[in-house]
Chains A and B, each alone.
Chain A
């Protein structure tokens, strides 16, 4: 018995490894099945939670970091990602180190390209927004207003909140208030400008009405003369109001990227055709000189038309009698360059940087005589700035001036995607 027991023990001892291995393997299989079920259940729960969040926009889901610690974005279902990408509201997701995980197209439109993996402070330096992001990282959601002052002033409300603790993810949403703020400001500016600038012609008209009622009552010659002046003054007021209205309209949309494609040569020729009679009065010849096969530009046709009408009109107004106005169109470095040249008196260099200020006039008397409103170049500047172009003014006293407009070229019809327009800063 004893012998058999010990031999059995020996037998067992000799064969102990397969038994142990078997036991371990059995256990592992059980564990493996358990883990698989666990993950399957977890995946189901996650999917359900995502759908719930997708449908109800409710409480954020806390997701396990183990699933993919390198890329928390892998947790986003493709549909949610597409939705975020196409949301008209700028959205940014940041990780625990305040590094950009995701930005949608609207956010890229606001902050420019190349944002991925950068730190928040490198892409959005505004102190209030950075403080909001830092607060969100600690679990305090907040809503702060902020301004992007240059190149084109924009106003936003920024909302920052933590959406997940592990992995840490913070969301930053921007609500664009530019339109609202602009319309408030515009109304104030419009009233101020209009009342100030309309006062002079209005005073003149009132003065002549008084004279006509008074001692010029029965003087037919004086009456004719005064009515003539009153007509000129009221025409000036009308032009002023028109210019103020178009300036207001352009400023309202200055932060909205133009969408159309415009054939610049056609636009310029059309603008010239409308101004030929005016040029003929002073014996000025207007010529358009365009390189063949000019690419179209990204732009708003009506605004570009107004831009060239203003520039060509100025060239005629301030050009030499019997002189030449030349418009050259060329292409360089993905830009179309339109230069309007006159051979008039030219502009003093001290005045050049100020020309696009509203109501700035080099020579007040001359501008009044020529029926200028003091807004023509301000309108040009705002149109150029909306088109992310550049305006350059060169002038030599006694020789004339050149106003050059640089506009980003659009891709030709046969080419693929449009080149992303470089934000060119306009300093004037």
Chain B
């Protein structure tokens, strides 16, 4: 990263914000490559996603260092303080999203060695939904838009619902044919990783909301992931085409 000539406190804060946006862009690109690797059985895209992780970690360290310096030397107050904290927190969430993308990409490499399966298309669609959330929440960060952040926060349930449906379908699938368990497990983890990425987006939404409004989004986040309580009874297996 080229070192900016720092002229003012405002500029320092802005640089911090620009770095978060830049890191967001990297996370978006990495996540997009991971989803592409699944959707198009593209192992090159998977490699891009795995390789993109290092740069994200670098920027996270730079953000933390700059933020710490700012806190120590400038002792920011009110909105400036919240912006500094938001940068640190968002960077941490983005770093997690990067890790999840990397994991999805690694599993895509395994899946791409197996014969194609229609369910990967459903996963790709779920991935798109999460990508959308990531884009919207990063937009809300850049434009300091609390309402947009709140919308992202409210929409997480939709990803959870796709996850529930895929979870059930995969369980049924694996019960029908034990030979699919290996692949099914990878698919389950991919789905779970996408769902987790969606959760990190809602965390960022909370951070943005707090940064702009100084208040908190209510604690009862719309949680629609019921898979931790889901089982598919052996007798009622349904067949899917």
Contacts and interface: CB of A to CB of B under 8 A. Distances in A.
Contact of A125 (B22, B55, B122, B164): B22
Interface string A169-196: 0000000000000000000000000000
Given A122-B142, A123-B142, A353 B161 contact: yes
B165 interface: yes
Contact of A150 (B128, B142, B161, B240): B128
Nearest to A351: B165
Contacts of A245: none
A359 B91 CA distance: 39
Interface residues of B, number: 37
A6 B210 CA distance: 85
Interface in B35-50: 35
Interface string B178-214: 0000000000000000000000000000000000000
A126 interface: yes
Interface residues of A, number: 30
Contacts of B121: 357
Contacts of A134: 2
A128 B19 CA distance: 15
Contacts of A119: 14, 17-18, 21
A181 B148 CA distance: 31
Nearest to B116: A192
Contact of B165 (A126, A128, A354): A354
B26 interface: yes
B22 A150 contact: no
A353 B2 contact: no
A126 B25 CA distance: 5
Contacts of A425: 132, 136, 155
A147 B32 contact: yes
A121 interface: yes
Contact of A151 (B24, B29, B35, B132): B132
A149 B128 contact: yes
A382 to B, nearest CB: 13
Contacts of A198: none
Given A147-B32, A351-B165, A354-B162, A122 B131 contact: no
A361 interface: yes
Contacts of B165: 350-354
Contacts of B149: none
Contacts of A239: none
Nearest to A360: B122
B132 A427 contact: yes
A28 to B, nearest CB: 35
A149 B32 contact: yes
B198 to A, nearest CB: 11
A147 B24 CA distance: 15
Contacts of B129: 427
A114 to B, nearest CB: 7
Nearest to A126: B25
B95 to A, nearest CB: 15
B142 A118 contact: yes
Interface string B100-141: 000000000000000000000110010011011001101000
B94 to A, nearest CB: 11
A121 B164 contact: no
A361 B19 CA distance: 45
B168 interface: yes
Contacts of B136: 425
A297 to B, nearest CB: 22
Interface string A389-428: 0000000000000000000000000000000000001011
B231 interface: no
Contacts of B241: 361, 364
B150 interface: no
A352 B25 CA distance: 32
Given A350-B164, A353-B158, A427-B155, A125 B28 contact: yes
Contact of A149 (B26, B131, B142): B131
A354 B122 contact: yes
Given A130-B25, A151-B135, 7 more contacts: A119-B18, A126-B29, A357-B125, A360-B122, A425-B132, A425-B136, A428-B158
11 contacts: A119-B17, A121-B22, A122-B17, A122-B18, A125-B22, A126-B29, A127-B22, A150-B131, A351-B165, A357-B122, A427-B132
- 6 A-B pairs with least C-beta separation: A125-B25, A122-B142, A121-B21, A364-B241, A427-B158, A150-B132
